[in-house]
A and B are shown apart, each in its own frame.
Chain A
Amino acid sequence: MDRYAPKARSDAYGRRINREHSPLVALALPWLSIMAGSLVPLFFIATALPLVPPAGFLMLLAWRLVRPGLLPVWAGLPLGLFDDLFSGQPLGSAVVLWSLTMIAIELLDSRIPWRSFLQDWIVATGAALAYLLAAFVVSGAPPTVPGLVALGPQALLSVLLYPAAARLASGLDRLRLTRWLSTS
C-alpha cells in the first residue's frame, strides 16, 4: 500500500517512528562547536593587528542566547580553560571572563523575560565589547592608547558576526536533535 504523505511521520528532526536522538551528539555538539571556535583564530595569518573576532566566545554567546538552558552556568570554566590554551592570553583570562559572562547573562535573563533576536544581538554586542576590552586590559602587556584604537576593527567584526554565529548555532542545534539511531 502506498503511503499518502511520506512526510507525515517526520518532523524537522527526521522520522519520528523507530528513530531516536543520539545522546552523544545531543550532549557534545554545543561544547565541541565552541571548542572548534576557539581554534579558529589560530588558522589565520599572523596579522599585525588583532583582527579576527574571538570565534569561541561568539559561539558561546550564540549557544547561550539561542538555546538558553542548554549550557550550564558553569560552562565558562572548562570552555574558557580550553580557549586559554590557544588564545595567547594569559592562562585564566578566558576562564574568568567567560564565567562572568555566563553569570551576567543568567542574571539578565531572569530580569528580562522577553525574547527576541534583536534583544539577543544587543546583549551579545554588550558582552562582546566588554569581553574584548577586558581581555585587552588583562592581556599582560601594558595597555596603550594605540593598542586600544587597534581593537576597533575587531570589535566591529565581532558585533557584525554575531547573527552568523547565531544562525550557525541554530543550524547545529537542528543537527544535534536529528534522530540518528534506529530503535529496533
Chain B
Amino acid sequence: MFWHNYKYALKALLKNRMLVFWTMIFPFALAMMFHLAFSRLHDYDVFEPFNVAVVNDEAYKNEKVFSEAFKTLGEGDNKLFNIEYVNKERAEELLENGDVDGYVYVSDGKKIVKIKENGTNQTVLTMTTEQVAQSAKMIDDIAMTEMAKSAGQQVDVEAIYRDAVKTVTGAEPNLKDESHVMNIVSVEFYSLIAMACMQGAMLSCEMMNRCMPNISNRGKRVAIAPTRKGIIVASNLLAGYTMLFTAVIALIFFTRIVLGVEYGDNIPSICLLAAVGGLAATMLGMFLSVILKTRESAKNIIIVIVTMVGSLFAGMFGVTKMFFDELAPLVNKVSPVGLITDGFYSLYYYEDATRFIVNVVSLIVVSALLFAFSIRSLRRQRYDSI
C-alpha cells in the first residue's frame, strides 16, 4: 500500500509542471544566473592591468627612485598598469575621455594621483602609488643615514643605494594571516542550496493537501479509503522528499562540476546538511498545511511568507543574521533556514565540527517535533466542515 501510493504520488509529482519547475528547474536557473553574475568576482584577485598615464616632466624625472620603481609596475607578465608617458595636457585629456583611470604627476616633490571617480582601479592606483612613494622615501632615507654615518669617508653611493633597496624591499612584515576567508561566491551558492531545500515546504504542503479532505476532493477519496492515514501521509511526504532531495543533490553537483564552485572537501557534509535541511523544510510544510485551516492558495501564500521571513532572519536579504540573532535569538535556533545557513557557515568557519553537528541535530529535532505535532492533529480526524 505504501509503495503503491508512493509510486503514484511520485508519478503525479513529476507530471506536475509547476512543482517540477520550482524544484528542478528554478534553482538551476538561479545557479546559472549566479554563476554569470559572479564569475568575475570569483577571481577578482586576478587583476587585469588597466590604463594609467604618467606626466613625464622634469619634476617626475627628478624623483629617480620613485620613477624607476613605478616603471616596473608597467612591465612584465604580472604588470599592474599599462603606463602611458605623456604631458600634463594630454594626461588631463585622457582622463576626461575615460581612456585612463587616473594619472600620476609630481609637484613640489609631492606625488599626486588624479582620478575622475571612485572605483576599484582608482583605489589600486592610489594605494600602489602610495606604496611606491613610501618605499622610495625610505630608500632615500636609509641611504642618506648610511652615508651620514660614514661621513668624510669614501663611499660607494651605488652600493649604499643597492643595500637600501634590498633592506626596504626585503622588509617583508611578519604578519601572520589567520583569516578563514570564504569565497563570497561560495557563500551565495550556499544560500542558493538553502533556498532549494526550503522548496520542500511548498512540496510537502502540496502533498499534504492531496490527502486532506477539507482541502481537496482527492483528499476526500483518500479519507474514505480503508488505508491508514499515516501510511498515505508518509508515502506522500516521502515522494515529495525524494524529488526534493534528488533536486538538491543534483544542484550541489551541478554547481560543483559544471559551474566549478569551490566547496573544498566539504561535499559529504554539504549533502548531509542538505538532506536534513530538506527534511526540516518538508516537515515545516506539513505542519503548516495541517494547522492552517484555509484555502489552498492562502496556505501557499503563508508558506511563502514564513520561508521569506525565515530567509530574512537567516541573513539572505542583506541584513546580517547577527542583527536578527541579537533581535530575536531564538528564531534562528529553530527556523530551518536559519539552521541550514548556520550549518553551512560553521562548516568552513569552525575547525571542530561541534557547531555543525549541533545544527544537524537541531534540524533533526525540529523535524521530529513538527512531524509529531502534525501527526497528532491529523489522526482520527473528522472535520467541522469540508
Whether A and B are associated in the same complex: the answer reads: no
B residues at A contact (CB < 8 Å): none
